[in-house]
A and B are shown apart, each in its own frame.
Chain A
Amino acid sequence: MNQIRLGKLYGGHLGVWEKYQGLESWIFIVCWTLIFLFFFIIPVQSKEYDYINISNPYLNKTPVAVTEFKAFGGHQAEIDDGAHAMEILKNSLDFTGYLKVINSAAYLSNPAQTGIQLGQINFKDWTGIGADLLVTGGIEESQGQVKLKLRLFDTFNLKLLVGKVYTGSDSQIRQMIHMFCSEISHKLTGNWGVFNSKISFVSTIDGNKEIFICDFDGHNPKQLTHHKSISLSPAWSSDGQWIAYVSYARGKPDIYIKSLKKKPGFIVNNEGLNISPDWMPGKDILAATLSFSGNQEIYLLTKKGEIIKRITKSWGVNVSPKFSPDGKKLAFTSNRGGNPQIYVKNLETGDIKRITFEGRYNTSPAWSPDGKKMAYVGIDKNKINIFVTSLDSGSGKPVQLTMNTGDNEEPSWSPDGSLIVFTSSREGKIPRLFVMTAAGTDQRRLLRLKGKQSQPSWSGSTSSENI
């Protein structure tokens, strides 16, 4: 784990002695028998992350119980911080869309009193209320330093899946909980999940539009730009260190390439439009629409804004370039066929394929992180909604993810592919940010902020190594 950003915060595995403390021998045998069966009799499921397949649209939520945190010192500050940590943990697990936290009123036992370690837990109390997973927590706090001991158990297999200890200041509880949630996600899905990602977006403030950044769950919104102008279309570099966006700060739309680490940035200000930037995964290369030729065409640019090459050569509007996750293809919107549709260009072969065919207005392509699906915006019967289509050959009809709830636009996938953030005018016709699962379920407001919010962009994947 990278200890630089969090200062004093560090994490580590629980000691073996702690895991097996108080373990009775018959459970030991049952456990090992189950583990033996798990690895050798059912080899298909031998990959450790086969618990939950988050790309399954018919996924049932896995019920998880989150216990009260055991306060080792027992003083009030520790109890309060423990309660706070538990709330963050529950909300974060609920946010995933594939876990369902069981109401604590149903719990039959209280590990905060009886013990939070493997041998101290009666798993029948948890399987009995339908909990497939159990998370226990403990907190030790002295002089503002907090130690969190967090465990994830498989209640049916009586197994400790993840055990971690985190130490940091009390102001870092949220971060520590999210680090543990990343571990849970990695264990259950094979992916580090959304917990360390951020979302950039546009919000109105004092009659202007500025770029903002918030946490994955809408917490800690912060204003990034102060141009007092129209600023639009934020896009993350894949390392999360840079944001490219459009601003009229100098009177016309230019692309600003800004470092979040306060390094000097760059401006792309050719004659005409300089709009809709997107970063090539893993590279300091951007795609953007420039119109200095008189036509709105897509170009590849260096991070300094120098043109590498022209990508589209077609009459009309060519906008919203979006690199495939492997960087080998580029999706974009073009009205070359008479109305806006989504095309994919293979950057190696130069082949261009149209991928939307229904309706007369399809824009805003967004690749799923596995590169297999494309979310986009379609206008049908004057209603604006989000659709998703499979990119496999011979794919079926597009699936409509939003309906009957105002206009829904500008989809952006979470780095693990489980969620989509988007703009919706469903509340009082004012555009706001919402989030849903990739299957279109669990649609909810992301954050509450004054003004109008739009153009959300979810940052890339961060493993726990990058926390």
Chain B
Amino acid sequence: MNRKLWMNLMAAVLVAGLFMTVSCAKKTIVTEPTTIEDQVKAEAEAKAKAEADARTEEARIKAQELQDQMANEQTLEQAKIAAAKNRFTNQNIHFNFDSSELSSMAKALLKEKAEWISDNPGINAAIQGHCDERGTTDYNLGLGERRAMAAKNYLLNLGISNSRLTSISFGEEKPLDLGSSEEAYRKNRRAQFVME
């Protein structure tokens, strides 16, 4: 009976041992693929992170670029506005000697000015009429007014409101160029726009 007990005990130990061995062996085998899997995962994770980082950076750069571009465009737009404003006040309408007739170039410039006035509703314009130094003071005051009126009437015909335009003649009193050359005379015979 005792012997049988021992046998059973022994068998139990053996089975247990076997089980243990089997389980240990199994464990070792299982362990290897798990490690590989972890590595791949880590790599993938790293890669994903890098990619995400790259994407973020790219987005950031893109955003920055967009911002820069917008800023540039704004500057450009502002420059354009300033240029248009400058053209409005600095680009004079020129006339022939003893004439208040608008040339085709004068009309093109006046159309541009009409657009500018339409685009800038808060601003009114004074149109000054000027003459070159030749001729008589009184007559040139009259001629200067006719030049200012010719420019003003053209703008009125283009739909600019009368309330936004005034005109004044300075005759030969305010030359741009103090010289006595044909070129100076040409510059001085003008309708000049001043913002109010």
Contact = CB atoms under 8 A, between A and B. Distances in A.
A68 interface: no
Interface stretch (A53-61, A82-90, A259-267, A288-296): A288-296
B139 A363 contact: yes
Given A252-B168, A272-B145, A317-B143, A233 B98 contact: no
B142 interface: yes
Interface in A313-352: 316-320, 333, 335, 339-340
A120 to B, nearest CB: 55
A296 B137 CA distance: 14
B169 interface: yes
Contacts of A361: 98, 135
Contacts of A462: none
A174 B145 CA distance: 46
Interface residues on A, range: 35 or more
Contacts of A230: 170, 173
Nearest to B182: A382
Contact of B142 (A319, A339, A360): A319
A385 interface: no
Given A294-B149, A339-B98, A361-B98, A319 B168 contact: no
Contact of B136 (A252, A273, A339, A410): A410
B38 interface: no
B138 A340 contact: no
A331 B170 CA distance: 24
Interface string B159-185: 000000000111001000000100000
A307 interface: no
Interface in B67-91: none
B145 A296 contact: yes
Interface string B121-156: 000000000000011111101110110010000000
A279 B182 CA distance: 37
Interface in A282-322: 289, 291, 294, 296, 316-320
A339 B101 CA distance: 13
Interface string B44-72: 00000000000000000000000000000
A363 B137 CA distance: 10
Interface string A350-383: 0000000000110110000000000001010010
A429 interface: yes
B135 A363 contact: yes
A184 to B, nearest CB: 36
A320 B145 contact: no
Nearest to A339: B98
A340 B136 CA distance: 10
A67 interface: no
B127 to A, nearest CB: 13
A384 B173 contact: no
A272 B152 CA distance: 13
Contacts of B170: 230
A454 interface: yes
Contacts of A276: 138, 141
A101 interface: no
Contacts of B139: 317, 319-320, 333, 335, 340, 363
A273 B145 contact: yes
A455 B137 contact: yes
A409 interface: yes
B106 to A, nearest CB: 19
Given A232-B137, A429-B180, A291 B168 contact: no
A294 B150 CA distance: 11
Contacts of B135: 340, 361, 363, 379, 384
Contacts of A382: 134
A275 to B, nearest CB: 5
Contacts of A410: 136-137
Contacts of B137: 232-233, 410, 454-455
A333 B136 CA distance: 10
Contacts of A363: 135-136, 138-139
B156 to A, nearest CB: 12
Contacts of B134: 379, 382, 384, 407
Nearest to B98: A339
Given A230-B173, A253-B169, A429-B180, A275 B138 contact: yes
Given A294-B149, A317-B146, A429-B180, A289 B98 contact: no
A429 B142 CA distance: 25
A172 B149 CA distance: 54
Interface of A: 209, 230, 232-233, 248, 251-253, 272-273, 275-276, 289, 291, 294, 296, 316-320, 333, 335, 339-340, 360-361, 363-364, 377, 379, 382, 384, 407, 409-410, 429, 454-455
Interface of B: 98, 134-139, 141-143, 145-146, 149, 168-170, 173, 180
**Complex A-B, nearest 3 residue pairs according to Cβ-Cβ distance, in ascending order:** A317-B142, A363-B136, A276-B138
Given A253-B141, A317-B139, A319-B142, 5 more contacts: A251-B168, A276-B138, A316-B146, A319-B138, A429-B180
8 contacts: A230-B170, A253-B169, A296-B146, A319-B139, A320-B139, A333-B136, A340-B136, A455-B137
